Structure 1
Amino acid sequence: MSTLARPARPVLLLLVLLAGWLSLGVATAGPAAAHAELVSTDPGEGARLDEVPGQVTLTFSEGVSLGAGYARVLGDGGERVDTGAAEVDGGTVTVPLRDDLPDASYVVTYRIVSADSHPISGAFAFVVGDGELADAGAVADDADVDPLVAAALPAARSLGFAGLAAGLGVPAFLVLCWPAGWASARMRRITSVGLGTAAGAAVLTFLLQGPYAAGAGLGSLLDPALVSTTASSSFGLTTLGRAALALVLLGLLLPLWRRGAQPSAQEQAGLAVIGAGVVLTTAAVGHPVAGPVPVFATAVTAVHVAAMALWLGGLAALLAGLVRPGAEAGELAGALPRWSRIASGSVAALVVTGVVQSVREVGSPAALVSTTYGWLLLGKLALVLLLLAAAGVSRVWVQQHLGVSRPRPGSRRRVTAHAFAAGDPDGPVETAARARAAVQARGAVEDVGPLRRSVLVEAAVAAAVLVLSAVLVGTPPARASVAQPVDVTLPLQSAAGESGSVQVSVDPARPGANTLHLYLFDDDGQLAQPADLRVTLTEPEQEIGPLDVDLEPAGPGHWVADGMSIPGAGTWTVAVSVRLDEFTATTASTDFPVR
């Protein structure tokens, strides 16, 4: 995130986009965008069976893997009764059971890894015969994430983001704004340390993934089994690829630093390709690769990461050059106006892609203020606004000391450091302009205190933004944490065809108590009063139901079931049967997810 961005336009763009989202309720979208959820099980939770099934099946909302986790079935005494050969096919986990098991209560316990690399764990029980249902929580021994591992992961991600900003953003700043900076030892150190940090943080993240998924501690960081499991996953391969590309980029930059001159166009193209690979491997893990349209989500995240690196990298270069005024600071002053325009584009890209990501991960305005992910996102937004305010102070300084004023007709042209940065090398007029601009830039640097302070504020706030971003990566998306109420209008079907309609709403569509509202309409769209009305709930996958719903009249054509109980998560079917008269019966049904 750069100094000198034009804050007014990005802030306005951010507010307009957020206002549009809040007013239109962008997320009419369906279920979760990331983080796998258990949709159904066979046998169902709390089911009572006549005989022991041959296997237990768990169905999740997205593709999962066992990774360093497990899926097992335990008997009354806590002993394993599965064969130990659980299989995964997309979002379905199948656990075969041993033969000749007795009638008893069994507990299914699982810890799987979702497509976004985060572990999901849980347990449920079923009983065979007339015995008592076991307490799944008492029998299962699911391990939580170790607190040290939980703290180390966001720390590693934060270091990785900071390393990317320095390692990618500083060279980009030099190419676009300050070619003379290739001879700066300070810029060389920042870039080298940044790329080394990015590679090291990627390796550390790779090693931490095994204990994170398995619920183990830091002592298992180098456990061969966990390392092997992570290395065979798409997350592990992508993370190691990021580390390798960062080291390759560092190797390509070393001879350029020794030469101390601007890279050729061909060299710049090579650096850009490797840098794009680092950006893509950063974007292609976590939430973007899970849920709907992963290619689009990954592309949006890649643009977000690239804009972040460009903005923060420029900030790092300016901060290093302005801390100690001197000849280098004077040269940097000439690059500031050009950097201001580039930073504005970076900010606009960050705002647009950030809002797109928020819509996908949050899903609805209500989720923004009712989930941990939503509150973290709001905190990040507040810091970004503070960052833009600091950037505004920097821009005012640039306009006052190094800005370009438009010449009036008949007036003498005012030449500034911008002219010095972008002037035509031909001709005595341009040469004189550059000389005058250089004198002005050196004079401006003597009064660089306000700019230096605003840059320091930007750097401090940017560090906090990076930490929040790293925490958000490991937090379940708000969309996956909030149930989506149901509100649909269905045509009523009879033997003779459609006959009226029924509007059904279920809120909040969570296990436990819910409220159902039902409105009945005739063919003319008027509220109707039938001879008889019945509503049932069924969960076909878990073989639950049909369960009758007790309705209370709430007005003409309107019924309410307040406190309607939904036994558990799954994909439920609500069916409405309407008898209009002695000879006409109609039905309607719809499926809805319960989390």
Structure 2
Amino acid sequence: MLLAVLAGNPGVASAHSELESSVPEVNSQMDSSPAEITLNFNEAIEAKLGSLEVLDSKSNSVTKNEPVVSNGSRTLKLELPKLNEGLYTVSYSIISADGHPVSGSYVFVVGNPPEGIDASAFNPHEELGHEGHTASTQLTTNQFIIYAVRVLYYASLLLAAGIMFWSVAARNRSDMMKEILRSYELITMRILLVGALLYVFVHAREIMSGYAGNEYNKLFFDTSVGRGWIVLLVLALAGFVAIRLGSVVKLIWAAALLAVESWSGHAAVFKPEAATVALDYIHLAASSIWVGGFILLLLVWTRDRKEAGRFTAQFSRAALISLAVLVLSGIAMTLLFLPSLQYLLYTAWGTLLLVKTGLVLLVVVVGGLLHLRVRRGDLPTLNLLRMDASLMALLIVVAALFTYISPLPVNEPVTYHKMGEDMHFSLRVTPNKPGVNEFTVKVWLPDRVGAPKSVVLRLRSDDRKELGPIDIPIVPYKDTEMTTFDGYVKATYRAEGPYIPFAGRWTAEVRVMNKQDDELVERYDFRNY
């Protein structure tokens, strides 16, 4: 009786719901933010089960709104806030009215978002059009000279800006203090000029290694890096004039020197550029106030302990404020630079930043002890000053090293090939970073089987396993590479588009259906940053 009822009742068809259309459309690009996501299914879905989520380029959900079912339970809608330019992933997981689970994901683009940033963004060779050079991402012993010069340059930069600041800010200066400042302002400018010349020479030589001498004109006049070096050298020479002029000129000179370094560092690559450059400038300014003031304190302390005690009362307050600003600006820049704090574990940059953080915490402790002694009316002790000086030197070394290394790991293209009796398989993803990539799939099937009936490429996020797969719309193309195997017929497919919406670990799944309707499945795990 049950079989008869089922056979005579067309309302219990076994087919389950499938996505018929969507707004925004799959893999579409929009000029402005859509007001909502609309998914239309061919059959009814369960109204109170399932989910619809929209993720940004950092795989964070853009809204906490709940999806709403309409149109006879065939349409699922999710209201959106205003979206900025970027890549967005729509992920749905629903239950059809007949109880079948249905899930999937697709990508859409709003505006013209910038390309994803990885270590390649910090390579000045790209500005020159040079090939064959890679961005520096790890420390090597062969770069000892470069790092030594960078340490000298950063120490001279912070010291010069700091001494210039304190020559203006130090109150109630005695004749001895004025004499020290006059002498060491000149010495500091000499050190800065030597440090800047060595810094420019060593880095220019590294960039131009293997290229003709006439390419140096292009480096210095046609690239932002080279132009920044020219301004740096001009400021280093102008410092000898600035020390003889008034307080306003000195402060302007120090501000300009720090600004040049801010615009030529990592901060100038990240977005929003105004925020990252401003934070980097504040970070450098706080560093220079601390370094310059502490060196001045040591110089005064060797001449007159009482005078050193009076200056310590002023410097200790400024030092603690500077350290607090250093910590806050450093945290803010790290959050802007890195997609997540896990990236601290991926590169030498992250390792050095953790070391720097530990050193800063030690400096805060030592600075606090010095401040307490000053508040009690005591002079700073030699041991505390030595400890603070050692920590300062270590911090300058670490800063010089990790400003040369990319904060982000380098993305390597995916190149995978597997041989097998039933099928040879090849997968390429280039350049393999969040955003637009080129996907190439090659399949070789035995001659007796013939060309494949269909080939499907899907991506699954291993970090967000709850998301449905993203289908890559690969299409056949004519392959000109000489990759043939005797006894096998080749089929090649390609797609290009923003089908990797956010960084992370991914699994590429290729499903090959031959003419006998046998399905062969290959999977390959990869990651990008």
Taking structure 2 as the reference length, what is the TM-score of the superposition?
0.56
Cα gap change, 1:536 to 1:504, in 2 (>3 Å): closer
Instruction: Report the counterpart of residue 268 of structure 1 in structure 2.
Output: 247
Would the alpha carbon gap of residues 286 and 540 (structure 1) be closer, same or farther in structure 2, given more than 3 Å must change? farther
Letter in 2 for 1:212: E
How many Å apart are 1:297 and its aligned residue? Answer: 1.5
Moved segments of 4+, more than 4 Å: 26-34, 62-69, 144-148, 479-486, 515-520, 534-544
1:362 maps to 2:341: no
Identify which of 339, 347, 354 aligns with 1:378: 354
String of CA shifts for 1:356-385, please: whole Å, max 9, x gaps: 221123331211123221111101101111
> Structure 1 residues 213 and 451, CA, compared in 2 at 3 Å: closer, same or farther?
same
1:225 corresponds to which of 177, 198, 214: 214
Which amino acid counterpart does residue 162 of structure 1 have in structure 2?
A
Whether the aligned pair in 1 keeps the contact of 2:164 and 2:254 (CA below 8 Å) is no
| Alpha-carbon distance in structure 1 between the residues aligned to 2:234 and 2:59 | 41
Aligned runs of 1:349-428 on 2, under 5 Å?
349-401=325-377
Q: Which of 293, 309, 314 pairs up with 1:333?
A: 309
Instruction: State whether structure 2 residue 247 is matched by structure 1 residue 235.
Output: no
Offset at residue 152 of structure 1 (A): 2.2
Secondary structure, in 3 states, of the residue corresponding to 1:549? strand
CA contact (8 A) 2:319 2:367 kept: no
Q: Which runs of 5+ in 2 are unaligned?
A: 1-56, 61-86, 88-114, 413-431, 436-457, 480-491, 496-507, 513-519
Q: 1:249 aligns with which of 236, 239, 247?
A: 239
Structure 2 vs 1, CA of residues 248 and 540 (structure 1 numbering), >3 Å: closer, same or farther? Answer: farther
1:428-455 deviation line (CA, Å, top 9, x unaligned): xxxxxxxxxxxxxxxx5xxx4x523212
Residue 196 in 1 paired to residue 194 in 2?
no
Aligned equivalent of 1:581 = none
1:170 pairs, out of 163, 167, 173, with 163
Deviation at 1:323, TM superposition (A): 3.0
Alpha-carbon distance in 2 for matches of 1:235, 1:192: 28
Note if 1:35 corresponds to 2:119.
yes
In structure 2, relative to structure 1, the CA distance for the partners of 1:180 and 1:484 (3 Å cut) is same
Q: What is the distance in 2 between the residues matched to 1:341 and 1:162?
A: 22
Partners of 1:171 and 1:388 in 2: how far apart?
24
CA distance in 1, matches of 2:119, 2:354: 20
Q: State the alpha-carbon separation in 2 of the partners of residues 454 and 146 from structure 1.
A: 34
Residue 294 of structure 1: aligned partner:
273
Cα distance in 1 for residues equivalent to 2:391 and 2:263: 26
Give distance in 2, aligned partners of 1:371 and 1:244: 35
Instruction: Provide the residue aligned with 1:467 in structure 2.
Output: 397
Q: Deviations over 1:405-433 (max 9, x none)?
A: xxxxxxxxxxxxxxxxxxxxxxxxxxxxx
> Contact between 1:35 and 1:476, CA under 8 Å: does it hold in 2?
yes
| Structure 1 Cα separation of the partners of residues 240 and 476 of structure 2 | 57
Q: Secondary structure at the match of 2:524?
A: strand
Residue pair 2:300, 2:307 contacting (<8 A) in 1 also: no
Distance in 2, Cα, partners of 1:544 & 1:179: 77
Tell me, yes or no, if the aligned pair for 1:307 and 1:350 is still in contact at 8 Å.
Answer: yes
Answer yes or no: is the 8 Å Cα contact 1:322–1:452 preserved in 2: no
Instruction: Find the aligned partners of 1:548 and 1:169 in 2 and give their Cα distance.
Output: 57
The 1-side partners of 2:328 and 2:247 are apart by: 27
Q: 1:227 to 1:540 in 2, by over 3 A?
A: farther
Say whether the 8 Å CA contact 2:147–2:400 is kept in structure 1.
yes
Q: CA deviation at 1:281?
A: 0.6
Say which SS state the counterpart of residue 291 (structure 1) adopts.
coil
In 2, Cα distance between equivalents of 1:195 and 1:322: 22
Per the alignment, residue 180 of structure 2 pairs with 186
State the AA in 2 paired with 1:398. V
Coordinate RMSD, CA, aligned: 4.1
Deviation of the 1:463 alpha carbon:
0.8
Asked whether the equivalents of residues 167 and 191 of structure 1 are also in contact (C-alpha less than 8 Å), the reply is yes
Q: What's the TM-score once normalised by structure 1's chain length? A: 0.50
Structure 1 alignment gaps of length 5 or more: 1-25, 38-61, 72-109, 113-117, 121-143, 257-266, 402-443, 487-502, 509-514, 521-533, 552-560, 570-593
Native 8 Å contact 1:69 1:214 kept in 2: no
Give 1:365's aligned amino acid: L
Q: Cα gap change, 1:306/1:224 in structure 2, threshold over 3 Å: closer, same or farther? A: same
How much does 1:536 deviate? 4.7
8 A Cα contact 1:173 1:310, kept in partner: yes
Q: Give the conservation status (yes or no) of the 8 Å contact 1:158–1:466.
A: yes
- Give the Cα separation in 1 of the matches to 2:145 and 2:353: 21
- Deviation string, structure 1 residues 126-147 (Cα, Å, up to 9, x no partner): xxxxxxxxxxxxxxxxxx9996
1:277 to 252, 256, 264: 256
Shift of 1:211: 2.8
* 1:70 matches 2:121: no
Conservation of the 8 A alpha-carbon contact between 2:242 and 2:253: no
Q: Deviations over 1:244-275 (max 9, x none)?
A: 2132122221x46xxxxxxxxxx212211111
For residues 157-195 of structure 1, the C-alpha deviation after alignment (integer angstroms, 9 at most, x for no partner) is: 221221123222123223223442575433333332222
Further displaced range: 178-187 or 193-202:
178-187
Partner of 2:523: 564
Instruction: From 462, 487, 506, give the equivalent of 1:507.
Output: 462
> What secondary structure sits across from 1:382 in the alignment?
helix
More RCO (CA 8 Å, sep 6+): 1
Any conservation in 1 of the 2:160–2:292 contact (CA below 8 Å)?
yes
1:159, 1:181 → 2: CA distance? 31
SS of the residue corresponding to residue 564 of structure 1 reads strand
Deviations, residues 1-26 of structure 1 (Å, cap 9, x unaligned): xxxxxxxxxxxxxxxxxxxxxxxxx9
In the TM superposition, residue 459 of structure 1 has moved relative to its aligned partner by 1.1
- Distance in 2 between the 1:473 and 1:341 partners? 28
Is the contact between residue 535 and residue 548 of structure 1 (CA under 8 Å) also seen in structure 2?
no
Aligned counterparts of 2:494 and 2:411: Cα–Cα separation in 1: 26
* Alignment partner, residue 133 of structure 2: 111
Deviations 1:536-571 (A, max 9, x none): 5749999854786359xxxxxxxxx997227x89xx
From the superposition, tell whether residues 210 and 354 of structure 1 become closer, same or farther in structure 2 (CA, over 3 Å): same
Q: Distance in 2 between matches of 1:166 and 1:465?
A: 13
CA-CA distance at 1:315 after TM superposition: 0.5
